[in-house]
Structure 1
Amino acid sequence: MTISSMTGFARTDGQFAASAGGISWTWEIKSVNGKNFELRCRLPAGFDALEIELRRRLSARISRGSVTISLQTRALGSAAGISVNEPALKVLMEVASRVAEDGIAPASLDGLMAIPGVVENLGALLDEDERQARDAALLKSFEAAVSALQKHRLEEGAALTPVITAQVNGIEALTAEAAASAALQPAALKERFFLRVADFVADVQGIAPERLAQEVALLASKADVREELDRLRGHVAAARLLLAEKEPVGRKLDFLAQEFNREANTLCSKSADLELTRIGLELKNVIGQFREQIQNIE
């Protein structure tokens, strides 16, 4: 079985040396449950152009889940990794000083440094060939992080598989119990029907036996749960086939859980027997646990 969870985490490191100053980096990828594929990218200034390629590569390998990508970069050596536009900074400081004379709180240095264009990442100083080489190295490192994420998700899925399989087995066992109990329903229903008739028409004579038989047949038909039990058996078989698939099956299992629940509800509503009702309620409980677990599956 190759069930994959939607929960996982991966981290990879790398570095790139260039004439204008190299960088080292850390990729972190975190994924959690989600109805569809959702991606959030947290990239430092100067690396935003990578987002389209990151999205393309990740969506080709992961079909479902809410994923957050984070890239942290650091300068190599003593280059500090930045270039300060000193003329622009000087102009801003002079403006801040004049404004402060009017009673306005003076601007802080870190506030001035945060203004776009004052501080530039060394990446902006790379020539085109170096930038392409740096981005290729970053993407290769990212691919390694995605592979590690997939491995983690598969490990989580492997841990979920025996739990989900046990729940499917439980649904099958309760369906068999319900079938054994439901087999006794016609006789029990007939007996209860005649007792009710006797209570209400004790003083009424001449009710045709055929008429009573028709009413019993009608009630028995309404309380017949064989169709629901057949569908439950079919859903169990379908669940086992899905658990053996190599492709993502989370959405299909989620739909199947809804169908399981529908049949269990109908079983309870048709039940004319306390034991069958008990089995139906236990069946709903196990199906609820099954549905909760498959919310983690890709």
Structure 2
Amino acid sequence: MTGYAALDRPGRRWELRSVNARGLDVRLKLPEAVPGLEPLAREMLTSQVARGNVTLTLRINSAGGGVPQLNAGSLPAALDAVAEVQATAEARGLALGPVSATDILALRGLWEVGETAPDLTPETCRSDLSELLTAFDADRAREGGALARVLGEHVDEIERLTRAATDLAPERSAHLSAALTAALDRIAAADVDQARLAQEIAMLAVKGDVTEELDRLGVHVSAARDLLTAEGPVGRRLDFLTQEFNREANTLCSKAQMSALTAIGMDLKTVIDRLREQVQNVE
């Protein structure tokens, strides 16, 4: 599930964001100023987030405590460059003014600001992360509420179409009976084993019965509603349930033998596909 939260504190800024994913992938962009920060952050994140690509970033603000330091590794190279410029100028008869220490220290690249944060202890980080996760959960809860309404509408539509298919039962029975009678009339004059014919008719009747598929669709609707009101992560279970919905809709279409029921089955498949797409956003 997508979510975003930020927390600003003197000398530092935390950002936590997530995008949809089938599993959980935690990515940490943290400075090395605090020993043990990475395992602490990973533990706190995985205890509250079950699904998504989650990125936690901590930026140390140099203006909030970082002290500029002379880069000793760059100083010899800077002095060599100054000497080379002076030597080249002299070789060409050019007179350069004296170079002072201040001139050299003003060169770019000689100073660096370390990511030091003397007040950023593990206890401070835990407190920051706890507040950040609270805001993060609140943001995801707002999205989750809107998403739950959308999912509920899809489940309602599946229930409506299932009832419509059930209501077609008398009409479908008459349709299949008429089709079977016409088929029997065509073979009445043929020399057919009546016992075998009766057996085949019974098998066709069993294979064409869609009662079980409609009953299971009803059960899945109830299960989906229970999951939408359940506490905790339900995304994986909803994902599995959409597969069951789709299986029953496919079987219903294959058994339909009636254009009206086939149309309902196709509408069911469309709604179920929309439900499946939205379920990918659920933790």
| Interval of TM-score (by shorter of Structure 1 and Structure 2) | 0.7 to 0.9
Contact 2:66 2:113 in 1 (8 A): no
1:93-104, aligned counterparts within 5 Å? 93=78
Out of 274, 277, 282, the position equivalent to 1:292 is 277
Q: State how far apart, in whole Å, the 2-side matches of 1:214 and 1:142 are.
A: 70
> Is 1:232 paired with 2:217?
yes
Moved more, 138-147 or 155-164: 138-147
Out of 63, 73, 78, the position equivalent to 2:60 is 73
Shift of 1:161: 1.3
The corresponding residue for 2:4 is 9
> Is 1:147 paired with 2:145?
no
1:20-67 CA distance string (max 9 Å, x none) = xxxx11111111101111111222453575222111111111111111
Q: State how far apart, in whole Å, the 2-side matches of 1:217 and 1:155 are.
A: 54
Amino acid in the other structure paired with 1:285:
T
Q: State how far apart, in whole Å, the 1-side matches of 2:225 and 2:200 are.
A: 41
The corresponding residue for 2:155 is 168
Contact 1:186 1:220 in 2 (8 A): no
Contact 1:31 1:65 in 2 (8 A): yes
1:18-37, aligned counterparts within 5 Å? 24-37=11-24
The corresponding residue for 1:249 is 234
Moved more, 288-297 or 249-258: 288-297
Amino acid in the other structure paired with 1:179:
T
Task: Tell which structure's C-alpha radius of gyration is larger.
Answer: 2
Q: State how far apart, in whole Å, the 2-side matches of 1:37 and 1:25 are.
A: 26
The corresponding residue for 1:188 is 175
Measured on the aligned residues, the alpha-carbon RMSD in Å equals 2.8
Change (3 A) 1:120 1:270: same
3-state DSSP of counterpart to 1:34: coil
Amino acid in the other structure paired with 1:262:
R
TM-score, scaled relative to structure 1: 0.78
> Is 1:83 paired with 2:69?
yes
3-state DSSP of counterpart to 2:175: helix
Out of 249, 252, 271, the position equivalent to 1:267 is 252
The corresponding residue for 2:198 is 213
Amino acid in the other structure paired with 2:114:
N
1:211-231 CA distance string (max 9 Å, x none) = 443332221111111111111
Ranked by relative contact order (alpha carbons within 8 Å, sequence separation 6 or more), the top structure is 1
Amino acid in the other structure paired with 2:161:
L
Identity among equivalent positions (%) equals: 39
Q: State how far apart, in whole Å, the 1-side matches of 2:23 and 2:162 are.
A: 32
Shift of 1:237: 1.0
TM-score, scaled relative to structure 2: 0.82
Out of 59, 79, 98, the position equivalent to 2:46 is 59
Contact 1:41 1:51 in 2 (8 A): yes
3-state DSSP of counterpart to 2:18: strand
3-state DSSP of counterpart to 1:297: coil
Q: State how far apart, in whole Å, the 1-side matches of 2:23 and 2:125 are.
A: 26
3-state DSSP of counterpart to 2:168: helix
Moved more, 224-233 or 253-262: 224-233
3-state DSSP of counterpart to 1:30: strand
3-state DSSP of counterpart to 1:10: strand
Contact 2:18 2:55 in 1 (8 A): yes
3-state DSSP of counterpart to 2:209: coil
Q: Following superposition, which runs of at least 4 residues in structure 1 exceed 6 angstroms of deviation?
A: 95-101
Unaligned runs of 5+ in 1: 1-5, 16-23, 102-108
Contact 1:11 1:29 in 2 (8 A): yes
Moved more, 250-259 or 135-144: 135-144
Contact 1:31 1:66 in 2 (8 A): yes
Shift of 1:252: 0.4
Amino acid in the other structure paired with 2:168:
S
